[in-house]
Chain A
Amino acid sequence: MNVTINGAPHEVPDGTTVAQAVLTLTTATTGVAVAVNDEVVTRSAWETTALGDSDRMEVLTAVQGG
């Protein structure tokens, strides 16, 4: 299935979890937050939340600003 991660298209196996998708970007589990289709997925739910076809996932962290 096809998903969008941080604006870029990705093809991932069916049943891919948020945790697995995050691992394609970073091994960090702190200082990082995930939203799928504009809803926050809490860290404790990463392993149990599966992505669906056409989902939009955003993986954010803190950067210099303000």
Chain B
Amino acid sequence: MDDLLIAGEKFSSRLIMGTGGAPSLEVLDQALVASGTELTTVAMRRLDPGAPGSVLDVLRERGIKVLPNTAGCFTAGDAVLTARLAREALGTNWVKLEVIADERTLLPDPIETFDAAERLVADGFVVLPYIGDDPALARRLELAGCAAVMPLGAPIGSGLGIRNPHNIELIVEAASVPVILDAGIGTASDAALAMELGCDAVLLATAVTRAQRPELMATAMRAAVQAGRFAHQAGRIPRRRYAEASSPTGP
């Protein structure tokens, strides 16, 4: 598979993993290895002195680049502060920008997200914003200097797949930065579809971490992303209403 390029950095895997929802760090570790991921998100939270082990140790041990997110932020101000704290704690200027509108849907707030993106770009961050499947907003964020755009397939953790494949295609067509399908993936065919639609990568967590067998689902996702990428590059046949013989007709 060809490399994924984000902000000049190369990745041979096009599967970006999240770490939320895993029942233990051991299970997470096995799933990350099986996924083949080279870029994985973490959240920033108040330090709990009693917490056993750290997700950072797992990522460091496996040589996986850490991508902090701003999950849990409702305002641009919160997100900017969280990104700055992540940069300080983790020594990376990459951030998955996530500003949500409400707890029930966890849908991204476009106004706060755009505001935060502008401020973080100005502050030297490599910004990867999580957004709705909105082609206009994706375009505006690219023009504002974001290193990628990350439209959702469906709400976080819903497993509903890609609810509006047409919009994802429109975003892909207009973008000259990587498009990363983020959120909503339920199973391997959803990840394959994202890649077939022309997305450059897929970010998922719950579909793997809450699967009955996370490691096996991670293996499935890895294969699906690769299959979808190949299919996209190969160019699918047009859909037809009627049959077209694949064997010679006549005697």
Contact = CB atoms under 8 A, between A and B. Distances in A.
A32 B20 CA distance: 19
A63 B85 CA distance: 13
A60 B44 contact: yes
B244 to A, nearest CB: 45
Interface residues of A, number: 23
Given A31-B54, A40-B85, A65 B18 contact: yes
B47 A59 contact: yes
A11 interface: no
Contact of A62 (B18, B22, B66, B96): B66
A25 B47 contact: yes
Contacts of B77: 38
A19 to B, nearest CB: 14
Contacts of A32: 47, 89
Nearest to B49: A25
Nearest to B20: A65
Interface residues of B, number: 37
B154 to A, nearest CB: 16
A25 B50 CA distance: 9
A35 to B, nearest CB: 6
Given A6-B47, A25-B47, A26-B47, A63 B88 contact: no
Interface string B29-40: 000000000000
A56 to B, nearest CB: 12
B27 to A, nearest CB: 11
Interface string B57-85: 00000000011110100000100011011
Given A26-B47, A58-B46, A64 B20 contact: yes
Given A64-B43, A66-B69, A66-B98, A38 B205 contact: no
Residue from B28, B49, B68 with most neighbouring chain A CB atoms (10 Å): B49
A12 interface: no
